[in-house]
Chains A and B, each alone.
Chain A
């Protein structure tokens, strides 16, 4: 079984790379906020020994321009469209979901509840999901941070609030210094840490949440091979998303599918999750 393969939000621009999007089972947009955002000052990215740090800061055109200008072009790509949304209050999430609820092309809304690079909403993740749930009937995936003391508890809370699935995980906060300037490598200081170093952390979160709730899990965090995909399925994911690997290898989805095909069908215990209807 080859699970649905998506991109992680913020790791692919469908409009600059449609030939990559064609390889995906669904495309997840960069997070959209109610108002336009210019994002954080550069430098925004830095490589580490085993991953990368980023602090982009949710640069996006805002929901109005996104719906007007981007969505029609995304619709033309012919793949299911997931829209990632982020805000700074429950009202923001409600507004965003209300707008997207009217957009037929949007198959799923991913709630970015855990961006490490902007101020957080004061409400809990569950309260934000409740606000979103009241605003839309579309499938809602809650994207959680790995940097919580009990991610399974967060999973139970967002499940009770009406989430239809979990996106696990977002980047984890990290900091690096330039050894020549002795300044942080990113202009904003700490950023989100992703890549191979994140993978075991993500797997532990997927495993904990799969044991805590019945929701389908979109697993992500440092996936770079067919073996990595199988690990996420073993841990309880039913679909996977690619992030940092897309930066170095845009057509990685093709290679991962070949590796999965070559590896043959997994044993029954290698796939705990169920395939979510929204991407299947």
Chain B
């Protein structure tokens, strides 16, 4: 386990549409590979919350958070100067050694895309959102094509999409998987530990339960 656990301070808490961009000091933490995640201490909660890294400017780790439950709301309620424990990077990130990347994301699935786009040198992206308000997050990804429901990201997929790297709600990932064998898909599951200890985050693969934090969260479909 190369991951570290460190207490770091919030240096920015910014609203982007309904989401919060939480900017933390980097400390000695390694940003890892796009698609890897960190366990963020959620103040007042028993368990930390897994968040993929959104951006990694010098000296910072940034996370895009959708306040949908008690843990994410506690994280979005942090104030500049507050300190939380951060543990990571964890899991397996995207394979960025691809020739023709195309990023596809839906909703809060945009979270790992800014870092991924930066590492790939500005790959094209298709982003889908529930509303114009949510679509405000598209500003984090340059060169992105943006659709808002009822239009779906799969409607914008070209016939020859190249190497697709996708993150989003399960129906979107299933639709991408059906269209593009070999796509790299970022899945999510409730997670207690993030490092293989709890066996909570399993997903079924070929009839077996595998831990998403160990085998994933990026899973490449058999082409």
Contact = CB atoms under 8 A, between A and B. Distances in A.
Q: Report if A and B associate in a common complex.
A: yes
Contacts of B175: none
A16 B91 CA distance: 11
A48 B208 contact: no
B202 A247 contact: no
Given A39-B209, A247-B192, A250-B87, A195 B198 contact: no
A91 interface: no
Given A16-B1, A44-B202, A59-B202, A244 B46 contact: yes
A248 B44 CA distance: 12
Contact of A195 (B46, B70, B195, B208): B46
Which of A12, A45, A54 is most buried by chain B, counting CB atoms within 10 A of its CB? A45
Specify the main secondary structure of chain A where it touches its partner.
Answer: loop
A11 interface: yes
B47 A42 contact: no
Which of B190, B201, B214 is most buried by chain A, counting CB atoms within 10 A of its CB? B190
A246 B5 CA distance: 12
A176 interface: no
A272 to B, nearest CB: 29
A4 B22 CA distance: 39
Given A13-B196, A16-B195, A247-B192, A38 B209 contact: yes
Contact of A47 (B47, B199, B203, B214): B47
Nearest to B197: A12
Nearest to B198: A247
Contacts of B214: 16
B202 A47 contact: no
Given A11-B197, A16-B196, A16-B214, A248 B48 contact: yes
Contact of B200 (A18, A44, A50, A251): A44
A42 B195 contact: no
A39 to B, nearest CB: 6
Contacts of A30: 199
A249 B5 contact: yes
Contact of A247 (B1, B71, B197): B197
Nearest to B71: A47
A246 B193 contact: yes
A46 B47 CA distance: 9
A30 B200 CA distance: 13
Given A47-B71, A48-B46, A249-B5, A56 B199 contact: yes
B193 A247 contact: yes
Specify the main secondary structure of chain B where it touches its partner.
Answer: loop
B40 to A, nearest CB: 10
Contacts of A6: none
Interface residues of A, number: 35
Contacts of B202: 39, 42, 44, 59
A12 B196 CA distance: 7
Given A44-B199, A246-B197, A249-B85, A19 B45 contact: no
Interface in B177-223: 189-193, 195-203, 208-209, 214
B41 interface: yes
Nearest to A251: B5
B1 A19 contact: yes
A43 interface: yes
B197 A51 contact: no
Nearest to A50: B46
B67 to A, nearest CB: 15
Interface in B1-29: 1, 5
Which of B47, B192, B208 is most buried by chain A, counting CB atoms within 10 A of its CB? B192
A48 B195 CA distance: 21
A51 B47 CA distance: 8
A85 to B, nearest CB: 17
A10 B192 CA distance: 12
Interface string A21-57: 0000000001000000011001111111011101010
Interface in A50-81: 50-52, 54, 56, 59
A17 B195 contact: yes
B190 A196 contact: no
Interface of B: 1, 5, 39, 41, 45-48, 70-71, 85, 87, 189-193, 195-203, 208-209, 214
Interface of A: 10-13, 15-20, 30, 38-39, 42-48, 50-52, 54, 56, 59, 195-196, 244, 246-251
17 contacts: A11-B197, A16-B197, A17-B1, A19-B1, A38-B209, A42-B201, A44-B190, A44-B202, A45-B190, A52-B192, A56-B199, A56-B200, A59-B199, A59-B209, A247-B47, A247-B197, A251-B5
**Smallest CB-CB A-B distances: 5 pairs:** A16-B196, A45-B200, A247-B193, A247-B192, A13-B196
